[in-house]
Amino acid sequence: MSIKVSLPDGSIKEFDSPVTALQVAESISMGLARNAVCAEIDGVPCQLDQVIDHDVSFKVFTLKNDEGLAVLRHSTAHLMAQAISHIWPQAKFAIGPAIKNGFYYDIDFEGAVVAPEDLEKIEKEMEKIVKANLPIIREEMGRLEAIEFFKAHGDFYKVEILSELDAETVSLYRQGDYVDLCRGPHISSTGKLKVFKLTSIAGAYWRGDTNNKMLTRIYGTAFEKKAELDEYIMRMEEAKRRDHRKLGKELDLFDIFDEGPGFPFFFPKGMILRNTLEDFWRHEHMLAGYQEIKTPMILNQALWHRSGHWDHYKNNMYVVKIDDEDFAIKPMNCPGGMLAYKRKPHSYRDLPERSAELGTVHRHELSGALHGLMRVRCFTQDDAHIYMTPEQIESEIENVVKLIDKVYKVFGFNYHLELSTRPEDSMGTDEQWNTAIDALKSALDKLGKDYEINEGDGAFYGPKIDFHLEDSIGRTWQCGTIQLDFQMPERFDLTYVGQDGEKHRPVMIHRVVLGSIERFIAILTEHFAGAFPLWLAPEQVVIVPISESQADYAHEVCQKLLDLGIRVRVDDRNEKMGYRIREAQLQKVPYMLVLGDKEKQNGAVAVRNRKKGDCGVMSFEEFAQKLAEEIATKSMDM
């Protein structure tokens, strides 16, 4: 008997009898085997004691891999659950997955109130279990037997999950007195789960349904080494310092009130920031050959049936009745854009037609999912719809990629790309999807762009390219997206007359660059920690006269700067100069002009930079030229 095990590098290991995943790892390298956490056999994650008795493809993961780190974190979620079961024996456990940067567990404490200060108590109990070094053992059980097992323990969340599974047997993981329903794989013992931190507590409805019970969600993280955890905690603290919700209030930019959960308010400074961003967006789109439109906020139900949104997105839509007819507040701008295209006949000579819209949309998000400007119920998308012939697909995708690349570079963002393919819940033929996916791949390859394939995560009407940008502290945010669509033109019967004089169906691109204006402002606020570059800053200059005798000169300088389009004000309050400079610094104003008698006599200004401090005395003309250059080049040197 010969068993062939194919490795990722294309090589093959052969064995004369069944072997475990760990034994295969040992045959590759003893060092690899020592550090192995789990394996993958024919694409399915498994324990290291999994027996291989036939030809397979094989991978092994360590804590240097995301897959291995996810196993460590999932095992730590079980560790936390065991500790909680010791402290609160009545607690019932729902689900506890590994997530990006950590894990969580949703728990029903059955009336007990668990607060953030309890996290330390849970951590101490976790440490005791780590010291006990309990083996984590996988067991198989018949599904019906497992239902009875969890019923006997009162774990009705597990019973509900099991009742919906289509499997004869299920796997359970046991560590000491704690047993959990889980597919695994897991770390081999609790003694290997030494580096962890519980980070926060939140509420979460069971299965995300507001009709279900609110559970307590406890978040945590785990790493291989303490230095990695320390670095992560430091980044978390920096993220708290940069939290856009905190800075939005401190800088008087924006806020969300209890009277409108998920519906943001923008104040005067926030509107300056927003309008500056939108003006930049409009300028770049004009240069790229787009024409701006605006479509209505409310359109009738028949339109949403035609677009497919009623069937695929109804639960997230706000519905209203007007003159006894059902209407919906738009969750997306696309259907309105279809009507705008359809208003007149088109020739192939008119294409590509690039139509852009800063369109405000409303989506019914669960209250627990709301998060400042990052997740809201009302936001503005910088949408565009491009209508083209099939021959123009690649060149138009290339143009959009170049536009997004150009915009992100202005803000200093690096990014990576993901190409998402056909989801299960989709419209259209295999041929259409294959053509669309191939076109996206070809455009990215032609541009020399690296990208990852994200299988099954496309929109229901077409594949997409997502842009994940990286901020100044290493976090990634999905903002720009390009979606290729053969379905909407079909549903809306969009046509153009080709060179042959016959009607043809255009192909269309949906795309955003910034994504949501609100969310992009939140990202910028955190990226810059509220210290926006000069061209974006709501206040660009604050003038501080040393005493009342320089007040007239201060207002004279202010007016000159206003005439040049600079956002400037005079702070001539009856406060000490140091206090006024400090306040401008706290408000993160890029430049302060300190004016005394010498400056007044010489028609000069003493310049202080937010970052560099005292820049010395300049003539007004020299300072004005400096501002003009920094604004024109959108300098980031602040």
Positions annotated as catalytic residues are: 334, 363, 381, 383, 385, 464, 510
- 377, two tokens: 């119920």
d(CA 455, CA 441): 13
Q: What secondary structure, in 3-state letters, does 487-519 show?
A: HHHHHCCCCEECCCCCEECCEEEEEEEEEEHHH
CA gap 241, 529 in Å, rounded? 8
**Other CB atoms within 10 Å distance of the CB of residue 90:** 11
C-alpha span between 91 and 104 (Å, rounded): 15
Quickly tell me which residue has 């198989």 as its tokens.
140
The DSSP code for 545 is E
Q: What count of residues does the chain have?
A: 638
Cβ-in-10-Å burial (0-12, 13-18, 19+) of 209 comes to: exposed
Place of tokens 């009507």: 339
> Could you give the CA distance from residue 531 to residue 526 in angstroms, rounded to a whole number?
9
H-state helical runs in 288-321: 301-307, 309-313
Tokens for 620? Answer: 């007004």
For residues 559 and 584, what is the distance between their CA atoms, to the nearest angstrom? 19
Rounded distance, CA 99 to CA 264, Å? Answer: 28
Q: What is the DSSP letter of 248?
A: H
